[in-house]
């Protein structure tokens, strides 16, 4: 059976919520984040994006690009509430909902609760209901698999919808710039350019062994998506693999006592998040980012679940192992290895915004 997959992506979600709740901001270049020298942009309105302002950009760079930029302090609880409203709409159509973040999700509507045969109609109804209930717009991509639906949702933003029908898949993928392939980051794109790969059609020159040779495990994925193939199912229950907390500091930490004080604060926050999540793990990871943006991590794994007492001991050990002889921009702690799982590349609960 041909699958019917929808990718819903809210348009400039955090910034759009701010513009909705504060009408005086509508039509203006708005960002969510701090305007301090060490601030980072969490989200940018489309008016701000016209100036080249993007999420994850340093605030001082954003201000140079748009001196009239309006900064709004984040309101994560509000964003979570709105996200929950939107997911309620998704579940009216299907239980096969895979959230990627607060503002986007995959839906498998091959068999849906409304009995609607057209995935396009489902996407159109969902977009309309989102607007009616939240006064926010969303963009939708509709196709036969997750890769195609994700790429499609980026084609007509904001407030658009794009359908990639089975008969059009190969032609669409072949003309798609490699930078727009879901899963191709900056470094991978640069490597592909060195191999004279610029569009999807260029990937077709490489057989599977060569793709694996150049890109390792990701080679199989790139080989498949170049042919419009993506067998990954929509997974409604994405189990959390780690719980973490991190903080970017307004001023670099240079003193040992400052570092220990901040680690203690992180430990307290991490303990609260672990308690709230009901999770316990066996691996603790310390993350350090220095003033030159170089980043290191140190981890320790125990045979028993990490208690508060053990958390103190592990932090002391990790601090002793890490070369903390340079100014520190960021510190983070993550507990992972739940239920004997060994993976640590999972959900991070981050604090990246200065109050």
Token pair 């006064």 in the structure block, residue:
135
In terms of domains, do 215 and 278 share one?
no
* Average pLDDT of span 221-247: 88
Per DSSP, what are the bridge partners of residue 351?
247
Q: Which residue has the higher pLDDT, 323 or 145?
A: 145
Confidence of residue 239 (pLDDT cuts 50, 70, 90): low
Alpha-carbon gap, residue 88 to 92, rounded angstroms: 7
125 located within any domain: no
CATH assignment at residue 94: 3.40.1170.60
pLDDT of residue 343: 33
Residue 222 has pLDDT above 50, yes or no: yes
pLDDT one-digit tens code per residue, 85-127: 999 999 999 999 999 888 999 999 999 999 999 999 999 999 9
Q: Is the peptide bond before 162 cis (omega within 30 degrees of 0)?
A: no
Domain count for the chain: 3
In terms of domains, do 57 and 174 share one?
no
Annotated catalytic sites, by residue?
A: 104
In terms of domains, do 285 and 332 share one?
yes
260 located within any domain: yes
Nearest of 132, 128, 130 to residue 104 by alpha carbon: 130
- Which stretches of 176-285 are DSSP H helices? 186-194, 200-203, 208-215, 218-225, 256-277
In terms of domains, do 137 and 37 share one?
yes
pTM, two decimals, is 0.72
Per DSSP, what are the bridge partners of residue 98?
106
| Kind of pairing between the strands at 30-33 and 70-72 | parallel
pLDDT of residue 155: 94
Given 123, 141, 159, the domain boundary residue is: 141
Residue 340 has pLDDT above 70, yes or no: no
Residue 5 has pLDDT above 70, yes or no: yes
352 located within any domain: no
CATH assignment at residue 306: 3.30.1490.100
28-42, 121-135, 233-247: least confidently modelled range: 233-247
Q: Which residue has the higher pLDDT, 185 or 208?
A: 208
143-147, 165-169, 193-197, 246-250: least confidently modelled range: 246-250
In terms of domains, do 307 and 332 share one?
yes
pLDDT of residue 200: 95
192 located within any domain: yes
pLDDT one-digit tens code per residue, 247-283: 888 788 988 889 989 998 898 888 878 776 677 889 9
In terms of domains, do 25 and 135 share one?
yes
Q: Could you tell me the two tokens for 304?
A: 């028993």
pLDDT of residue 339: 58
Q: Could you tell me the two tokens for 163?
A: 């359908």
* Average pLDDT of span 187-199: 93
275 located within any domain: yes
In terms of domains, do 205 and 275 share one?
no
181 located within any domain: yes
Confidence of residue 242 (pLDDT cuts 50, 70, 90): confident
Count of C-beta atoms within a 10 Å radius of residue 354? 18
Range of the domain at 96: 9-112+131-141
- The rounded mean pLDDT for the chain is 89
pLDDT one-digit tens code per residue, 274-307: 776 677 889 999 999 988 888 889 999 998 888 8
Whether the Cβ atoms of residue 228 and residue 288 lie closer than 8 Å to each other? no
In terms of domains, do 259 and 336 share one?
yes
355 located within any domain: no
Alpha-carbon gap, residue 156 to 296, rounded angstroms: 39
253-262: b (≥16 Cβ within 10 Å) or e: beeeeebeeb
Alpha-carbon gap, residue 111 to 351, rounded angstroms: 39
In terms of domains, do 267 and 300 share one?
yes
Token pair 């990718």 in the structure block, residue:
7
In terms of domains, do 324 and 259 share one?
yes
CATH assignment at residue 200: 1.10.150.20
Token pair 């007492």 in the structure block, residue:
309
Count of C-beta atoms within a 10 Å radius of residue 138? 28
In terms of domains, do 54 and 24 share one?
yes
83 located within any domain: yes
In terms of domains, do 207 and 256 share one?
no
């Amino acid at each position: 059976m041909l699958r019917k997959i929808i990718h819903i992506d809210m348009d400039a979600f955090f910034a759009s919520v701010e513009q909705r709740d504060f009408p005086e901001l509508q039509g203006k270049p708005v960002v969510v984040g701090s305007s301090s020298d060490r601030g980072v942009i969490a989200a940018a309105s489309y008016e701000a994006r016209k100036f080249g302002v993007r999420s994850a950009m340093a605030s001082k760079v954003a201000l140079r690009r748009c001196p009239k930029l309006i900064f709004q302090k984040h309101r994560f609880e509000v964003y979570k509430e709105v996200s929950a409203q939107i997911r309620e709409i998704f579940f009216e159509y299907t239980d096969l909902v895979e959230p990627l973040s607060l503002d986007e999700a995959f839906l498998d509507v091959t068999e849906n609760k409304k009995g609607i045969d057209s995935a396009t109609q489902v996407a159109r109804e969902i977009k309309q209901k989102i607007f009616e209930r939240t006064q926010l717009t969303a963009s939708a991509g509709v196709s036969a698999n997750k890769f195609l639906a994700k790429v499609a949702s980026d084609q007509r933003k904001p407030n658009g919808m794009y359908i990639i029908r089975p008969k059009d898949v190969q032609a669409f993928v072949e003309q798609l710039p490699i930078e727009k392939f879901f899963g191709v980051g900056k470094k991978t794109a640069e490597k592909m350019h060195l191999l004279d790969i610029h569009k999807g059609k260029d990937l077709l020159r490489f057989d599977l062994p060569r793709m694996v040779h150049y890109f390792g495990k990701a080679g199989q994925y790139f080989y498949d998506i170049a042919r419009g193939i993506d067998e990954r199912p929509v997974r409604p229950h994405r189990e959390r693999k780690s719980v973490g907390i991190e903080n970017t500091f307004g001023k670099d930490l240079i003193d040992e006592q400052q570092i220990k004080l901040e680690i203690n604060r992180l430990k307290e926050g991490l303990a609260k998040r672990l308690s709230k999540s009901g999770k316990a793990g066996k691996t603790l990871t310390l993350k350090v980012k220095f003033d030159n943006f170089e980043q290191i991590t140190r981890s320790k794994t125990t045979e028993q679940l990490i208690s508060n007492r053990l958390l103190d001991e592990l932090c002391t050990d990790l601090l002793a192992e890490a070369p903390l002889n340079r100014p520190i921009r960021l510190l983070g702690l993550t507990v992972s290895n739940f239920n004997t799982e060994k993976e640590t590349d999972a959900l991070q609960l981050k604090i990246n915004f200065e109050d």
